[in-house]
Amino acid sequence: MNQGKLTKKTATAKNFENKNSIKKTSKDIMEDTSVTLNSQFLSNTKITIVGGGGIAAIELPKLARELRRQGAEIQFCVTENCLKFIGLESLRWASRSEVIINPTGLAEHICTSDAIVVTPATADIISKASNGICSDGATTLLQSALGQKKTIIFCPTMHESLSNSPIVDENKEKLKNIEGVYFTTPRQEEGKDKLPSPDILSINIAHIINKRKLFLDNPKKVLITLGGTRALLDPVRCITNLSTGSLGIEVAKIFYSMGINLTLLAANTSREIPKYENAQLINLPNYTDMYDYLKEINENKYNGIIHLVAGSDFIPKSLSHSKISSKNENLRVDLVKAEKIIDLENLAKISFKAAAKLTSGEKEEGLKISNEMIRKKHLNALLWSSSNTAWNKKTEHSGVFVQNLDGISKEINVNGKKEMALQFYLSFIEYLKHKKK
């Protein structure tokens, strides 16, 4: 447990080892309070959830378990008003720990956690925190955390009339100007500020905690392209490919959760792209639109690019501006080779560059093509995979991740998109560490 000020740390592969967090009984039955570990985003992080008195308190068990699925240790410190909306036993069950209400001689009001999440952050608890009022264990714990400059994340929920109060707004601004204090953006619905869904909120919380831990003095911004582009034949028809965008979505989740600022350029995807609070999402389904957009970007804004979009290798020589008649027995379309996004001069100037390569045929030939691509395009990393496994529902999508550091190549076998995504992140971190030397 970290009882002092948060310090910057270096992320390593050890933080992401696949561990089984499910405790088993002798009969191999999952304990009722256990969760399945989905990631190590919040590994070795103790979070105290400070619960205010609002109806959104009914979401606390879900949020606690979602944070635990990301590797966090959770404890609740709640107001008595909070317990009017959610039962004490529910909080014990969700956190797997004792709940603090009224501090004892053990001084539970002194913050020993790495981070505080205030939810529901009502007008009452925000106003008390901003004015140093210690009326109970929860509000006293907040002042202790402020005094230690811990990471404190307020997740506001209240009626819009309270949210629009100039006094409440002033109190929010006062807190935002304090080192280590952050506010999440509520979901506005039915005239109220509501909590985002627990899965999205937990990832936004991880982003804030890790950004302050790992990149406080030197924020990093990464550009990710994903999905499958389309080339228009006429206003209603197009040529596209089978890319789902799933890999890019997994890569974005890891980078964002670990504190990286993201810009996502998305073509067509079969999965919905999560809308993370501090990530910019731009939809560019047409290949020419994505190419033209990237041609104009300022490369100095980005520390890295992960180029995963399945671009159109060929596009129609000409575009019909009216719908092509379906009465024709035959349709001839002349295709020309498209200009490659990866060949854009401004993208070549981004310091860290990673991409993916899909080939048919044998692994040996695919890796030969991949290594040649790394050399010609000056890439720092590349994921090779075969078309035989990319869309095969019976087998896990597998491949080889090739990391290139100062001309020294390292190959890592990967199975599944989570493993692939993890290697993109680890290679970026390894590059940043190497660059500092």
230 and 187 in a common domain: no
Residue 386 per-residue DSSP state: E
Phi then psi dihedrals of residue 409, to 5 deg: -100, 140
278 falls within a domain: yes
253 and 377 in a common domain: yes
In this structure, what CATH number is given to the domain that contains residue 49? 3.40.50.1950
| Residue where a domain stops, chosen among 192, 214, 236 | 214
Give 19's Cβ-side CA count (13 Å radius).
15
35 falls within a domain: no
Give the pLDDT of residue 69: 97
Q: Are 321 and 234 in contact (CB under 8 A)?
A: yes
80 and 62 in a common domain: yes
| Residue where a domain stops, chosen among 214, 232, 257 | 214
Q: Are 386 and 395 in contact (CB under 8 A)?
A: no
- Structure confidence by residue, pLDDT tens digits, 284-338: 999 999 999 999 999 999 999 999 999 999 999 999 999 998 888 888 899 999 9
The reply to whether omega before 120 is within 30° of 0 (cis) is yes
Domain hosting 241: range is 221-319+334-436
243 falls within a domain: yes
Report whether pLDDT(160) > 90. yes
Range 93-104 average pLDDT: 94
Domain tally for the chain? 2
327 falls within a domain: no
Report whether pLDDT(166) > 80. yes
Q: Angle formed by the axes of helices 198-214 and 60-69, to 10°?
A: 50
Cβ count within 10 A of residue 258: 25
Give the pLDDT of residue 28: 61
260 falls within a domain: yes
In the chain, the percentage of residues whose pLDDT exceeds 70 is: 92
111 falls within a domain: yes
188 and 302 in a common domain: no
Give the pLDDT of residue 340: 94
In the chain, the percentage of residues whose pLDDT exceeds 90 is: 81
Question: Where residue 27 falls among pLDDT bands split at 50, 70, 90?
Answer: low
Report whether pLDDT(6) > 50. no
Range 62-83 average pLDDT: 97
227 and 209 in a common domain: no
| Residue where a domain stops, chosen among 214, 247, 277 | 214
Give the pLDDT of residue 214: 96
Report whether pLDDT(94) > 80. yes
415 and 298 in a common domain: yes
Question: Where residue 393 falls among pLDDT bands split at 50, 70, 90?
Answer: low
Query: In terms of Cα–Cα distance, which of 227, 230, 244 is closest to 338?
Result: 230
269 and 183 in a common domain: no
In this structure, what CATH number is given to the domain that contains residue 290? 3.40.50.10300
- Helix, strand or coil, per DSSP, at residue 32: coil
369 and 315 in a common domain: yes
Which tokens go with 48?
Answer: 């105290």
30 falls within a domain: no
257 and 167 in a common domain: no
140 and 226 in a common domain: no
351 falls within a domain: yes
202 and 315 in a common domain: no
Give the pLDDT of residue 4: 34
- Structure confidence by residue, pLDDT tens digits, 199-228: 999 999 999 999 999 999 999 999 999 999
161 and 48 in a common domain: yes
CA atoms of 411 and 409, how far apart (whole Å): 7
Give the pLDDT of residue 418: 94
